[in-house]
Amino acid sequence: MADDLQEFVLTYFDEVGALVERPAFGVADVLLPDDVAGRLGVEPLLRLGFSEEASAPYPDARHLTVGDTLVERIEEDVRGRGRATRWFINEVGVDKRNLFEAIKQAVTVANGWLQAEKTANEAPQRHYYVRFNFKVALITDDKQEELVSVLMDLNSGQPAWELEATWERVFLERAWRLRPLPEAPLAWAPTLEESARLGVQSPESRALTQQTPDSASTDSRSLSPLSPDSLARLQARAAEAVTVKLAPTIRGLEQRSARRLELDRARLQAFYDDTAADLERRMSRTEDEARRHALAEKLAFVNAERANKLADVEAKYRLRLVLDLINAALIVQPKLSLAVRVENRYASIQYPFIWDPLLHHVEPPVCHGCGEAHYRIHLCTNGHLACDDCVLTCDFCKREFCKLCERDVGACIVCGRAVCIKSQVRCATCGRVTCSEHAGQCH
């Protein structure tokens, strides 16, 4: 902690233009600019010690610890800035031979194929990552905080786990050294309202909708990547990624809270069960109607009290996560895009596949149903991409639909099998849908 504090304080002084000399290990003489000294409420010339041992030979040194007024003032000053920064990844080659072949090798279209577009060329684009730094408060009847960083690919909407794993080796620069490149569009879905309709809206997205009310009706793919809306949507996904990162901690807390809750519940239930049983026994023994009535009232009161006390303990142990975004960094990197046709018997679309020259791989396409990226995809009859989990198949014609198109797939009223809009038979009398085998048997 003392080392962290020393690094923090001296970096701060450096940042604000102070002169620092180190007469000994763990001791620093600091000459502050007058305005900074005024802001911090100290004399411009300071002698600071960062440990008791180091300060001992210097009686005039101020021994700094966490919680010291000076440290608190520095923290306050620092909190007023440093919200955002930007880095560039320049050291990558933005060309790739036989990119189409690489795409074909990486991506599987389960119900179709990939076809090169004759007119399409590999196009370098500017892609973005955002590194979100959250202070996460995990609150039950106790509270602990953690700093959690997640790196999100802004264009694909996915956590960049792989890049994050190699983050320390990535060469980040403060300036863009390549030629100007067009900005890559967002490729991710669903939008918030799609999520809500599909019933996959997370609490994070709900919180986000409340944070940015004007965003509810906008399709994220039509947004500018750096618009507040797209960043807010990405933040919601980053929040989910935080829960993945903290899964062991969360699981531990949940288990601990659940155990405590169970014990408290058991104690309360036993107490109120016994109390109620005692009252009932007394009720059954008495022949005095007024007394019986009084006992019945008491019993009702005991049961109401039981409900209140149980609600109290449940509220006490419920786990809440509060994510405070400390700051964020934008990382800009060139990538190659190649438009490729995705086809099957029923549909054909053009999809821009991405080659990442830093990680040397083709990025997985994004499912239009759930917004997650997968190398194995399906082409929906209506031209959407869908992952295995988001596909609905007609049991009769074997056409596939994604979750966005679920209204095109019904169930036969007689046999219950999935039947799509192309294969169904609608009864002229009752209007209900059946498969062709059960046509006319609906009523």
Site for another protein in 339-368 (CB under 8 A): 364
Closer residue to another protein, CB minimum distance, 95 or 142: 142
* Residue 78 contacts another protein per CB under 8 A: yes
CB of 59 to another protein, least distance (A): 19
Residue of 371, 407, 408 lying closest to 389 (CA atoms): 371
Closer residue to another protein, CB minimum distance, 134 or 351: 134
Per the structure block, which two tokens stand in for 296? 């019945």
CB of 240 to another protein, least distance (A): 5
Interface with another protein (CB under 8 A), residue from 73, 221, 309, 341? 309
CB of 250 to another protein, least distance (A): 6
Segment 201 to 230, residues that bind another protein, using CB under 8 A: 202-204, 207-208, 211-212, 226-228
Please return the burial class of 378, using the count of CB atoms within 10 Å of its CB with bins 0-12, 13-18 and 19+.
buried
* Residue 17 contacts another protein per CB under 8 A: no
CB of 49 to another protein, least distance (A): 17
* Residue 35 contacts another protein per CB under 8 A: no
Segment 122 to 181, residues that bind another protein, using CB under 8 A: 130, 133, 135, 137, 139, 141-147, 158-159, 161, 174
Interface with another protein (CB under 8 A), residue from 90, 218, 303, 327? 327
Interface with another protein (CB under 8 A), residue from 3, 21, 75, 437? 75
* Residue 319 contacts another protein per CB under 8 A: yes
Closer residue to another protein, CB minimum distance, 192 or 433: 192
Residue 383: partners with Cβ closer than 8 Å, 6 or more residues away? 347, 348, 349
Residue given tokens 């000399």 in the structure block: 21
Concatenated DSSP letters of 220-234: GGGS-TTSHHHHHHH
Taking CB atoms within 8 Å and a gap of at least 24, the contacts of 99-105 are: 99/336, 99/338, 99/353, 99/355, 99/362, 100/338, 100/340, 102/355, 102/362, 103/338, 103/340, 103/353, 103/355, 103/362
402 CA to centre of own chain:
23
**What are residue 181's phi and psi, to 5 degrees?**
-125, 150
CB of 267 to another protein, least distance (A): 4
Gap between the Cα atoms of 195 and 214, Å rounded: 16
* Residue 90 contacts another protein per CB under 8 A: no
Closer residue to another protein, CB minimum distance, 26 or 410: 26
Q: Fill in the per-residue mask, 389 to 428: x = in contact with another protein (CB under 8 A), - = not in contact.
A: ----------------------------------------
* Residue 296 contacts another protein per CB under 8 A: no
CB of 76 to another protein, least distance (A): 9
Residue 368: partners with Cβ closer than 8 Å, 6 or more residues away? 189, 190, 380, 384, 385, 386, 390, 402, 404
Amino acid sitting at position 294: A
Interface with another protein (CB under 8 A), residue from 272, 359, 406, 418? 272
Gap between the Cα atoms of 384 and 382, Å rounded: 6
CB of 328 to another protein, least distance (A): 5
* Residue 294 contacts another protein per CB under 8 A: no
Exposed e or buried b per residue across 28-59, where buried means at least 16 C-beta atoms within 10 angstroms of its C-beta: bbbebeeebbeebebeeebbbbbbeebbeebe
Gap between the Cα atoms of 44 and 174, Å rounded: 32
* Residue 52 contacts another protein per CB under 8 A: no
How many residues in the shown chain lie near another protein by CB under 8 A?
Answer: 96
